[in-house]
Chains A and B, each alone.
Chain A
Amino acid sequence: MSRRPSTIPRLLIVPAGLAVALFALPILALIARAPWGELTSILSDDDTGRAVGLSLVTSLITTGIALAIGVPLALVLARTRLPGRRIILAVCTLSMVLPPVVAGVALLSVLGRRAPLGRLLDDWFGVTVPFTGAAVVIAQLFVAMPFLVITLESALGSVDRGPEEMARALGARPWRVLTTVTVPSVRSALLAGTVLTWARAIGEFGATITFAGNLPGVTRTLPTETYLALQNSPDRALMLAVIQVGVCLAVLIALRRRWVPAITGGRP
């Protein structure tokens, strides 16, 4: 690919460089200051293992549930003339801009033991949601699923409807049109939304610690573990942080090839 000659003022290079430094310096510092000698001992200790396992399991469950209910939501919002669909979309994506701790408080106010729905669940089924693994997943869903919904909804809204109509004309019923035409046509956006949701879920901290607490092995996820480690063993926190950077980087690189079309809207 040949580059076109630059047409922007040269001075812009200064603020652009500042932006790059903002992102790159902390990561570089993290890698430089991490106690690499303790990598194996930290990786193999029980607390780390439990936190990593919990984070992986809950974030994957969250991603699965997000696909199961978020894809239908995006379809309903993009493909029906539901009255007030704009308002529904705003409500369903509000948590993207809410402070996560506010999300946690909001969840407690409906599912907390003394909250209306929480009390019903407790009285009728003896189920308490807060401070359980389920609470971790709910907190993650609340803040992460909008990324899938909004990515998919906008892709569905802009995709050409011609192929779907052709499929119907050829005799395809709604489920077949959905699975053989609609979903393949937004495949890139679906993948991008899924990855964004998973990444947001595995990194969730504020809503989780507010709504689910930090019980080791039950609700103490990797970000919580990292935050707690910072209080008494900063080296351990550094090492945990580096591990998380590594995981995220690995996922980004693995998906890069399929991920690029979603961003550029073109071919790989």
Chain B
Amino acid sequence: MSLAITIRRALGERRLEVDLEIADGERLVVIGPNGAGKSSLLRSVAGLDPIDSGRVTFGDEIWDDAATGEHRPVESRRLGVVPQRDALLAHLNVLDNVAYGPRSQGVSRREARRRAHRELERFHIGHLADARPRSLSGGEAQRVAIARALVAEPTALLLDEPTSALDLAAKAGVRALLTAATTATARPSLIVTHDAVDALTLGDRIAVLEEGQITQIGTGRELAAAPRTGYVAELLGINLIRGSLNGSTLTSGNFELTVGAHDLPGGEAIATVRPRSISLHRARPEGSPRNVWQSRISSIDRTADRVRVRLVDPVEIVVELTAAGLDAIGVGEGGEVWASVKASEVSVTGG
């Protein structure tokens, strides 16, 4: 069943005005800068904060209707919620934390623990069952929180910055776990984040929330290709290149990229490159950049004084430069250009 959200709510000086619909099995990411109202949105969808006007419905269940005053309290929405951090109850061990949801819904202690065990095993963290939350690392605690959110077969998943409190290596693990946990299910997921990599890897669609308003919504590719605000361009306009990392070289198909300093062990990884850090040239450039390759321009998007050029073959990449810069190169759509980027401008994160 789909989650339909229409929320109007005062947020200090500003207003939160959001209309979203999340389909069955869809992962919708809401991304925005700090203070945009992301957490307030999530709290209102959960039923923890009241709305001034609007409606929140799940299928034909009315969760909130400001017009009629109808309100289904959070404990009756059967949600799976994963907060940014400190999700676990400190005085219970991991197993009882995961069993807490089923227990609250009236399942016997024995059965709740059995289900909790099965869920922990599913995420390969069965060995943590007896551990106290305080003794877990950030990544382990977040895995447990995800297992706990999923154990009771929730109607919908609400994730509040699920990776932002983690270090780089733990981020990758939790992201992979979330991807696995939200793929091929019928439930809608709402993921709030300010991390572009989270948004691009987890989101089927991305909604951009700025100052309480949705400024753009679409797939990551759509947003990256034609960002409508400076924030979107800056944040989501980054290029992601998936590949396998070996030392300082990331290989993606027949494309090789030399990346900047990192402390990842290697294996599956994602390289991120900002469109502005790539230069275009008519002929093969001389000099220091470690990454130089020849490519073809598939499209040119002139929005303002900046121009976004999409390159294809051997790799899809967006380059941003000034209109004057592009004119100086003098190559149009379909033409061949040389691209270059310094290794230090290419950062990697776990895939």
In the assembled complex, how far is the CB of residue B152 from the closest CB belonging to chain A, in whole angstroms? 7
Q: Are B46 and A170 in contact (CB under 8 A)?
A: no
Q: Which of A166, A168, A171, A187 contacts B87 (CB 8 A)?
A: A166
In the assembled complex, how far is the CB of residue A168 from the closest CB belonging to chain B, in whole angstroms? 5
A86 within 8 A of B: no
B323 within 8 A of A: no
Q: Which of B79, B89, B91 contacts A169 (CB 8 A)?
A: B79
Question: How does the 8 Å CB contact mask read for B69-83 relative to A, with 1 for contact and 0 for none?
Answer: 000011111110101
Q: Are A163 and B90 in contact (CB under 8 A)?
A: yes
CA distance A181 to B148 in the complex (A): 16
In the assembled complex, how far is the CB of residue B76 from the closest CB belonging to chain A, in whole angstroms? 8
Residue numbers in B under 8 Å from A166 (CB-CB): 81, 83, 87, 89
Chain A minimum-CB-distance residue to B101:
A170
CA distance A162 to B87 in the complex (A): 8
CA distance A163 to B145 in the complex (A): 12
Q: Are A169 and B105 in contact (CB under 8 A)?
A: no
A38 within 8 A of B: no
CA distance A171 to B104 in the complex (A): 5
Chain B minimum-CB-distance residue to A161:
B48
List residues of A (173-199) whose CB comes within 8 Å of B's CBs. Answer: 173, 176, 180-181, 184-185, 187
Q: Are B101 and A162 in contact (CB under 8 A)?
A: no
Q: Are A169 and B86 in contact (CB under 8 A)?
A: no
Q: Are A168 and B74 in contact (CB under 8 A)?
A: yes
Q: Which of A160, A163, A171 contacts B75 (CB 8 A)?
A: A171
CA distance A176 to B92 in the complex (A): 14
A165 within 8 A of B: yes
Known: A170-B148, A171-B78, A172-B75. Is A181-B86 also a contact (CB below 8 A)?
no
A167 within 8 A of B: yes
Known: A171-B75, A172-B100, A173-B104. Is A162-B86 also a contact (CB below 8 A)?
yes
Q: Are A176 and B81 in contact (CB under 8 A)?
A: no
CA distance A162 to B84 in the complex (A): 11
* A: contact size bracket: 10 to 19
Chain B minimum-CB-distance residue to A162:
B86
CA distance A176 to B100 in the complex (A): 10
Residue numbers in A under 8 Å from B148 (CB-CB): 170
Residue numbers in A under 8 Å from B90 (CB-CB): 163, 185
Question: How does the 8 Å CB contact mask read for B130-165 relative to A, with 1 for contact and 0 for none?
Answer: 000000000000000000100010000000000000
Q: Are B104 and A172 in contact (CB under 8 A)?
A: yes
CA distance A187 to B74 in the complex (A): 26
CA distance A167 to B46 in the complex (A): 13
In the assembled complex, how far is the CB of residue A32 from the closest CB belonging to chain B, in whole angstroms? 46
CA distance A167 to B74 in the complex (A): 10
Q: Which of A162, A169, A181 contacts B74 (CB 8 A)?
A: A169
Residue numbers in A under 8 Å from B74 (CB-CB): 165, 168-169
In the assembled complex, how far is the CB of residue A165 from the closest CB belonging to chain B, in whole angstroms? 6
In the assembled complex, how far is the CB of residue A79 from the closest CB belonging to chain B, in whole angstroms? 15
Q: Are A162 and B104 in contact (CB under 8 A)?
A: no
In the assembled complex, how far is the CB of residue A235 from the closest CB belonging to chain B, in whole angstroms? 50
Q: Are B73 and A168 in contact (CB under 8 A)?
A: yes
CA distance A165 to B74 in the complex (A): 9
- Indicate the member of A168, A172, A184, A185 with the most B CB atoms within 10 Å: A168
Q: Are B100 and A169 in contact (CB under 8 A)?
A: no
Residue numbers in B under 8 Å from A165 (CB-CB): 48, 74
Question: How does the 8 Å CB contact mask read for A93-114 relative to B, with 1 for contact and 0 for none?
Answer: 0000000000000000000000
CA distance A181 to B74 in the complex (A): 16
List residues of A (134-151) whose CB comes within 8 Å of B's CBs. Answer: none
Q: Which of B46, B75, B76, B83 contacts A162 (CB 8 A)?
A: B83
B residues with CB within 8 A of A: 46, 48, 73-79, 81, 83, 86-87, 89-91, 100-101, 104-105, 148, 152
Nearest 8 interchain pairs by C-beta: A170-B101, A171-B104, A172-B104, A169-B81, A184-B91, A171-B105, A168-B75, A168-B74
A residues with CB within 8 A of B: 160, 162-163, 165-173, 176, 180-181, 184-185, 187
Provide a sorted-by-A list of 30 A–B residue pairs whose CB atoms are within 8 angstroms.
Answer: A160-B86, A162-B83, A163-B86, A163-B90, A165-B48, A165-B74, A166-B87, A167-B89, A167-B104, A168-B73, A169-B46, A169-B77, A169-B81, A170-B75, A170-B101, A171-B75, A171-B76, A171-B78, A171-B101, A171-B104, A171-B152, A172-B100, A173-B75, A173-B104, A176-B104, A180-B100, A181-B89, A184-B89, A185-B90, A187-B91
Contacts beyond the supplied A166-B87, A169-B75, A170-B148: 4 A-B pairs with Cβ under 8 Å: A166-B83, A167-B89, A171-B152, A184-B91
